[in-house]
Structure 1
Amino acid sequence: MNIHAQAEAGSVAQGATAFDGCYHCGLSLPPAAHWPVEIDGQRREMCCPGCQAAAQTIVEMGLADYYRTRSAFSATADGAALIPPELLLYDLPDAQKKFDLNEESAEATLSIEGIRCAACVWLIERRLARLPGLQAVNLNVATERLYVRWQKELCKPSDVLQAVRDIGYAAYPYDASRHDAQLRRASRTLSRQLFVAGLSMMQVMMYAVPAYISHDGTLESDMDALMRWASLLLTLPAVCYSALPFFRGAYASLRQGALGMDVPVALGIGAAFIGSVVAVLRGDGDVYFDSVTMFIFLLLCSRYLELIARRKAAGALEKLQHALPAAAARMNGYPAQRECSMVAATQLCAGDFILVKPGEAIAADGEIVEGASAIDMSLLTGESAALKRGVGDTLPGGAINITQAIVLRVSKVAADSTLSQLIRLIERAGNAKPQIALWADRVAAWFVAALLLFALAVFVFWQWHDPARAWPIAIAVLVVSCPCALSLATPTALAAATDRLVRQGVLIVQPHVLEILHRTTHIVFDKTGTLTVGKPTLQNMHMFADAERNACLQIAAALEASNAHPLAQAIVVAASAAAMTATAPVAHDVSYTAGQGLEGVIDGVRFRLGNAVFVGELAGHSIDQQDGTGMTSVYLGSSGTWLARFDLSDAMRDDARAVVAYFRKLGKTVILLSGDQPDVAQHVAAELGIAEAHGACLPEQKLAFVQKLQQQGSIVAMVGDGINDAAVLRAADVSFAMGSGAALAQTHADTVLLSPHLAAIANASEVAVKTMRVIRQNLVWATCYNLLAIPAAAIGWINPWLSGVGMSLSSAVVVLNALRLRRIPRRHGEHPGRAKAEQENAGQENAMAAAVKQGIN
């Protein structure tokens, strides 16, 4: 960098604004430059889109002080291969805080630009796997997002981004708006390439048809030569522009020492075109310009269909990403003043008051402090029925207000909102691949190598047997056997099924769910919050000795104050309604014994709250346990004294019976495991038609029970919602966590039910069956096609243009078959009057909103 540029950089760092060069790199601005970025409230001009992207990245990461403190401009490319400055930014300590998992590792989600097919996924993953310190890498072909995790001592974010760029793909930290713009650009580029290829194909066919229909001697030699030259000129745009994605992909693969699926395609196009050019120059021999243009056009049609399929498969996630509004009406003086000012959603802080008008989306999680309205949470839960919400109810960001204006007090900033956390979980859910997808990738990679050797052998044979046919037959073999259909068979189906389940309120977190769920032999249910709605109420209190009713209720509520269990919340709600004094007792030194109860100290007295055995250890003697049918009893006692018994009951989920019947009809064994009293568990099991039920199960007993089933060869699916279920959820072959349950359970589960309906599990099971059926159909089709088409091409029965038709149709069949999985039927157990019933009982649904408020992470 010259001295003048350094001096200018110093003036910029000191706050000078009179500078007519690029604010980022210092180069002079082109005459028509229009790439501004707002930095520190001032509009700054950049010399190119690259500098604009770098500067915008710096600002968005909160590192704008870089421009105030720098001593020189950013490096500019002077012929050397420099790492782009926006990549180096992610090596800064402040930037890496966004990626931290722990002290040793970090992770990031990146957008990849230029993905064409599953071969790109294989190539990128293969290249990144060679980076030192890289622990995990997965690229989702449907969403074009890359998940990476690395050791911070051995690898830097810029190393990852640069490695991807080195093999011909653009990589950048994921941003929803930028990713959408990239998809639109890719779609427009592909459309233009498709148009050019189609136009070339039609024009070339006009010159090829006379040669096909003419008999010997009927077409003059000079006219034949003119048509050949015209065909050559018309084929050039298709080869030099429309076929660029195939040549670039093949070059990137070969440069990395790999054989991607673009290699046989590029070889087929190149061989046919070069052979035709040689024939034109020599004035003798066959030309294949019509086959080349038709092949390029059909292959681009197939890829355009794949692009549409990927965008549709990622449709649910795209809707979620755009659900949070960019701005909100903040009421700065509420409640004294009603004036509103529009602010960016990112500027909202906890405690702010915002006005949400009918038809508007909620910008951040919050609690209603004024007004009542119907709320549409279908985007978050998949639930189509609007839910009534009023003062005191919590609402997640992204929900839509329908009927009346409401005022909310913000509880979480937009970046930490339920919707933002849900999006992060969905993005992470698509990172890993099931075994069947990994198998397909491995087979496709080996298939390309075997194909090239086979094509070479075919060429050698025909060169010996009939040299005139050797070239076209070898081209036909290369073209007809491109393994695109084989590689698309699994990821397209999985992406379509995942999109369908997200729209139904089922979030698949781990990749093996669909692969294993349809093979499960045992379905194990928890009771509270799973088969029941999870909102028990206090039905009765029985007092022992001379204990005072309200005092005992307040003591129990104090012990349960920080407990998220539904039974605990029922006691807290009952105590709040019966409170007679402004000052409630406060419990200290509260300890929780899983599956038994709590112990704490209030005003110097030690109390226990839980089951009879647990409380009896402190109360000093046993007591007759008298529980009402279907009731759960919780006891309260102190040292040497029994104080009270709380009888609570929980309503059954209205679709629980139908779900149990569905799995029994499939021949699966349904079991109830509950920490509740045995008679309560048996009562619920009998009501739902469950043959086997076990009560009073501690967490370790639930875990041991499931592990015993697995040792006997059973494949177990576990459904739960509480903290007690976290261990068994992780141990089960497939696990489901209710969306209204504890966040700890959700982090250990393979699947999270965002919908409050248990029928979502039956839907997931049905989708799993259909998905595996579609995957098998796709794999069988792709395999049979190659088994039939490759020998036919090798024998000479299929010419090059017909091979292009067959290859394109095989990919199209796979994609269209997979897209059938996106269709959503009526849920199990639903009936036309369900929506009305849900609105009438909207109070029960508030458990979902309250739990969603906790966030999924």
Structure 2
Amino acid sequence: MQIGRQEQTQHHLSQAKVVCFHCGLTLQQGFNFSATVFGVSQKMCCRGCQSVAESIVENGLEDYYKHRTELPKTAEDLVPDVLLQLALYDHPEVQKSFVLDGEGDYKEASLILEGITCAACVWLNERHLNQLSGVISVNVNYGSQRARVRWNDHQIKLSQILAEINKIGYHAHPFSAQQQDALRQQQRKSDFRRLAVAGLSAGQVMMIAVALYAGPAQGLEFATAQLLRWFSFVLTIPAITYAAWPFYVSAWCSIRNRQVGMDVPISLGLMTGFVGSVWATVHGQGVVYFDTLTMLVFFLLGTRYLERNAREKSIEASENLLRLAPVMATKVEGQTQTLTPVMELKLGDLILARPGETIAADGKVVTGESSVDESLLTGESRPLPKSLGAQVFAGSINYESPLTIQVTAIAENTMLAGISRLLDRAQAEKPKLAETADRVAAYFTSALLVTVALVALVWWQIQPDRILEIVLTVLVVSCPCALSLAAPAAFAAAGSHLIERGVLLTRGHALETLAKVTHFVFDKTGTLTLGQLSLVNTITHADLDAEACLQLAASLEKHSEHALAKAFLNAQGHHPVQLATEVKNIPGQGVEGLVAGLKLRLGNAKLHQTFSADLAQEYLSGATVVWLSDETRLLATFVLADQTRPEAQALIQKLKQQGLQVSILSGDSAEAVSHFAKLVGVDDWNAACSPADKLAHLHALQAQGAVVAMVGDGINDAPVLAAAQVSMAMGSGTQMARATGDVVLLTEHLLEIEHALVTSRFGISVIRQNFIWAIAYNLVTLPFAATGLLSPWMAAIGMSVSSLIVVLNALRLK
């Protein structure tokens, strides 16, 4: 029956003039639709079949027509399953888990790209997708094989983008940390298998090579030597085919895209040596290099295995963040608690976080008090106290008691996802040093191929029987592997080290620019200070003590939304307050009300003009002063000020010790900034600065040749953060500041700024050491190889050890 249906189908397909090639319906007269399938124009019954057929062909799915066993019976059957699956990704509910909605119709998604084998693959995907109408930007990270795509949903759908990727031979699907880890484990196992095969092959061939090398001196017979050569040939095949396959694929990608990658000379060397050795084996004369080839493949794979592991440490650090968030949450509806997928939560929903559980979404605490571990998000090692109104983040762990949380952000809108996007951006953007190394490696590889041709020509004139040996040695010894690894390995190690300490590099250039900084410019409020007023002093004027006065003030402010109210309530702590009645807010002055039958006023000098003679006292410079009074007397003076961050003064001192200039640009009053600058030890400061003023000061410094690092946290800092050579945003600051910053300080420890500076300088030093070593190695060994003073096996060991030294040197940054 199955065979009969296939024959019937082929009969229908052959009757292109009678029935529709796609659906099999009889063609109506007067309709002239067609589509090219298998290179032949096929008749279609309608525009719908024509469109579907063209889509199938354009997406590389023509095999659908080869493998179908019967014609479709329903409209749904007209579209292959692959296209239907891609269309599912356009559904809003499906997109909730991995698509970030931007302004208007703009959207952004993180995708896994399968099939990426080299930098040429990255180039091909980026170039192809950037040409599509509606695609705003595409950044593909070669290390993690992730792509971040931004598009206009009105102009192009995500399913179309995924189909275009399929069209050029790659497979894309939404990023999942778990799935990505599974793919990475699969790749790691594959790499290890290739390494094992190459190692076993090299070990066996090397044992035979010992006999071949010692044979002439020990009277080895020709027939025995020839047999050993054939054994070596057979044992080399697994290494030169299966184990070395990634080199050939990468070299072919480079050639196909008219580029010269470092795997081109490696592949040429392997193929040249293998073909020459096979020829010598078949003809029974000449030298065979099976030992050198297997050893070269083994050392190369070993070095790259170590380098890949080092690079993936940085990538895994970012993906570990995404694994923090649970997939299920306990949703609270009245007295009912239900286990609900996080993707089904909506803004405003209430969720329960029990002790020991991971918080499922960003939100605010509505009931309960506990401590929360945010160490993996911020680097803060101590659990942070959380009470009513406190902000909590997805991925943090609740410690002590249950918290009921009102959801404010889920999925791609959480702080966790935001950090991941910044990491994606940093890993996708290639630093200038890495770009320079790639260009140098490309030029060097091109020059190497020319050199090989010249060396071969010279040796053809001098000693033709040594051409194969010399060419193989030159190709192997001068491969620019170490040069290409010099910068990426160091950047990956430094980035992984810093994120573990709560410092997130969000731009590719951040590390190398930070190392060149000559001037640090700080915003004051929220950067060097906590950005919130705290009660620093209470002065009593009547028979009530300070604690009683504070309790009365907190009673008046309990239901106020004013910024000062939080300072009083925080100072009161967990102590109970009396209930104030007839509370009235007086705009621009303060608040008044009844507490235990006593009419009280709490506010500024305007609210207490009756006591003006008592208000003229000098208080802390730059502080906010609030008075409490009843109807007949002044009860207390409260002095509130923004608190300096604990490590601010130590940070300024350490920066100065490193020879850096430090300035403060603040929008606060001159009095407040002057007092604060003196407190932390900054001599150069400017007060009452608007965003434009800050920008002007920054440009003035840059005009004098300063390389400026700007540290800020607010919306008004965004322009100056963008203008600085390198910008550092406080993780507790605004979303705009974090998006503008090249470096985001997730932790509250200011001294991590100085540590990032030290790490950047050490990192650039390591990269320079790697460059010097790689270039010096090639310059020294190339003449020896070209003049025949090196053997191919020596070249293989030297090149591999050179790459290994570069990787191990980079790992010192860990």
Name the TM tier (shorter chain): 0.7 to 0.9
Say whether 1:360 aligns with 2:357: yes
Alignment match, 2:225: 224
1:329 and 1:162 map into 2 onto residues whose CA distance is: 37
Alignment match, 2:403: 407
Residues 320 and 240 from structure 1, CA distance in 2 versus in 1: closer, same or farther, beyond 3 angstroms? same
Alignment match, 1:726: 718
Residues 493 and 506 from structure 1, CA distance in 2 versus in 1: closer, same or farther, beyond 3 angstroms? same
Please show how residues 515-554 of structure 1 align to structure 2 within 5 Å.
515-537=512-534
1:583 and 1:117 map into 2 onto residues whose CA distance is: 72
Q: Give 1:580 shift.
A: 6.7
TM-score (structure 1 length as normaliser): 0.74
1:756 and 1:785 map into 2 onto residues whose CA distance is: 44
Summarize deviations over 1:67-100 as a string: whole Å, max 9, x none: 9996215438xxxxxx876557668899899476
Alignment match, 1:855: none
Q: Give 1:102 shift.
A: 5.8
Residues 116 and 470 from structure 1, CA distance in 2 versus in 1: closer, same or farther, beyond 3 angstroms? same
Contact 1:718 1:732 in 2 (8 A): yes
Summarize deviations over 1:551-594 as a string: whole Å, max 9, x none: 99999999986xxxx77965998999999767877999xxxxxx
Please show how residues 721-760 of structure 1 align to structure 2 within 5 Å.
721-760=713-752
Supply the RMSD in Å over aligned alpha carbons: 4.3
Alignment match, 2:56: none
Alignment match, 2:681: 689
Residues 476 and 108 from structure 1, CA distance in 2 versus in 1: closer, same or farther, beyond 3 angstroms? farther
1:560 and 1:357 map into 2 onto residues whose CA distance is: 29
Which range is displaced more, 223-232 or 342-351?
342-351
Alignment match, 2:201: 200
Residues 252 and 572 from structure 1, CA distance in 2 versus in 1: closer, same or farther, beyond 3 angstroms? same
1:206 and 1:817 map into 2 onto residues whose CA distance is: 32
TM-score (structure 2 length as normaliser): 0.77
2:782 and 2:160 map into 1 onto residues whose CA distance is: 41
Contact 1:631 1:648 in 2 (8 A): no
Alignment match, 1:505: 502
Which range is displaced more, 505-514 or 225-234?
505-514
Q: Give 1:427 shift.
A: 1.8
Summarize deviations over 1:232-267 as a string: whole Å, max 9, x none: 111111112111111111122222222222211111
Say whether 1:789 aligns with 2:794: no
Say whether 1:813 aligns with 2:809: no
Summarize deviations over 1:586-630 as a string: whole Å, max 9, x none: 999xxxxxxxxx99xxxxxxxxxx999xx9xxxxxxxx9986333
What amino acid is aligned across from residue 629 of structure 1 in structure 2? L
Q: Give 1:124 shift.
A: 5.8
Alignment match, 1:374: 371
1:714 and 1:725 map into 2 onto residues whose CA distance is: 19
Q: Give 1:446 shift.
A: 2.2
Say whether 1:347 aligns with 2:339: no
Q: Give 1:356 shift.
A: 3.0
Alignment match, 2:80: 75
Contact 2:118 2:253 in 1 (8 A): no
What amino acid is aligned across from residue 719 of structure 1 in structure 2? V
Say whether 1:451 aligns with 2:448: yes
1:202 and 1:440 map into 2 onto residues whose CA distance is: 34
Q: Give 1:442 shift.
A: 1.8
Q: Give 1:128 shift.
A: 6.3
Q: Secondary structure at the match of 1:362?
A: coil
Alignment match, 1:254: 255
1:558 and 1:373 map into 2 onto residues whose CA distance is: 23
Summarize deviations over 1:288-328 as a string: whole Å, max 9, x none: 11111111111111111122112212232121021112223
1:171 and 1:731 map into 2 onto residues whose CA distance is: 36
Q: Secondary structure at the match of 1:412?
A: strand
Residues 260 and 109 from structure 1, CA distance in 2 versus in 1: closer, same or farther, beyond 3 angstroms? farther
Q: Secondary structure at the match of 1:322?
A: helix
Q: Give 1:126 shift.
A: 6.6
Residues 138 and 323 from structure 1, CA distance in 2 versus in 1: closer, same or farther, beyond 3 angstroms? same
Please show how residues 467-482 of structure 1 align to structure 2 within 5 Å.
467-482=464-479
Q: Secondary structure at the match of 2:187?
A: helix
Say whether 1:486 aligns with 2:483: yes
Summarize deviations over 1:319-352 as a string: whole Å, max 9, x none: 1021112223334443xx5xx4433332333444
Summarize deviations over 1:107-155 as a string: whole Å, max 9, x none: 5433234555667656765776777886654433433323345677998
Which range is displaced more, 748-757 or 113-122?
113-122
What amino acid is aligned across from residue 283 of structure 1 in structure 2? G
Match of 1:629 among 598, 620, 633: 620
Residues 228 and 451 from structure 1, CA distance in 2 versus in 1: closer, same or farther, beyond 3 angstroms? same
2:756 and 2:208 map into 1 onto residues whose CA distance is: 55
2:566 and 2:698 map into 1 onto residues whose CA distance is: 29
Which range is displaced more, 764-773 or 140-149?
140-149
What amino acid is aligned across from residue 619 of structure 2 in structure 1? G
Q: Give 1:276 shift.
A: 0.7
Contact 2:326 2:358 in 1 (8 A): yes
What amino acid is aligned across from residue 503 of structure 1 in structure 2? E
Alignment match, 2:655: 663
Alignment match, 2:276: 275
What amino acid is aligned across from residue 252 of structure 2 in structure 1? Y
Contact 1:369 1:408 in 2 (8 A): yes
Contact 2:366 2:406 in 1 (8 A): no
Match of 1:394 among 371, 391, 397: 391
Q: Secondary structure at the match of 2:200?
A: helix
Q: Secondary structure at the match of 2:643?
A: coil
What amino acid is aligned across from residue 358 of structure 2 in structure 1? A
Contact 2:317 2:499 in 1 (8 A): yes
Contact 1:346 1:413 in 2 (8 A): no
Match of 1:649 among 627, 641, 663: 641
Say whether 1:311 aligns with 2:302: no
Alignment match, 2:182: 181
Say whether 1:430 aligns with 2:431: no
Q: Secondary structure at the match of 1:454?
A: helix
2:694 and 2:721 map into 1 onto residues whose CA distance is: 10
2:642 and 2:520 map into 1 onto residues whose CA distance is: 22
What amino acid is aligned across from residue 787 of structure 1 in structure 2? L
Residues 229 and 794 from structure 1, CA distance in 2 versus in 1: closer, same or farther, beyond 3 angstroms? same
Alignment match, 2:596: none
Alignment match, 1:440: 437
Match of 2:382 among 368, 381, 385: 385
What amino acid is aligned across from residue 733 of structure 1 in structure 2? Q
Q: When the two structures are aligned, how many residues end up with a matched partner?
A: 713
Q: Secondary structure at the match of 1:143?
A: coil
Q: Give 1:286 shift.
A: 0.8
2:405 and 2:250 map into 1 onto residues whose CA distance is: 52
What amino acid is aligned across from residue 281 of structure 1 in structure 2? V
Contact 1:559 1:587 in 2 (8 A): no
Contact 1:167 1:252 in 2 (8 A): no
What amino acid is aligned across from residue 214 of structure 1 in structure 2? G
Match of 2:755 among 755, 760, 763: 763
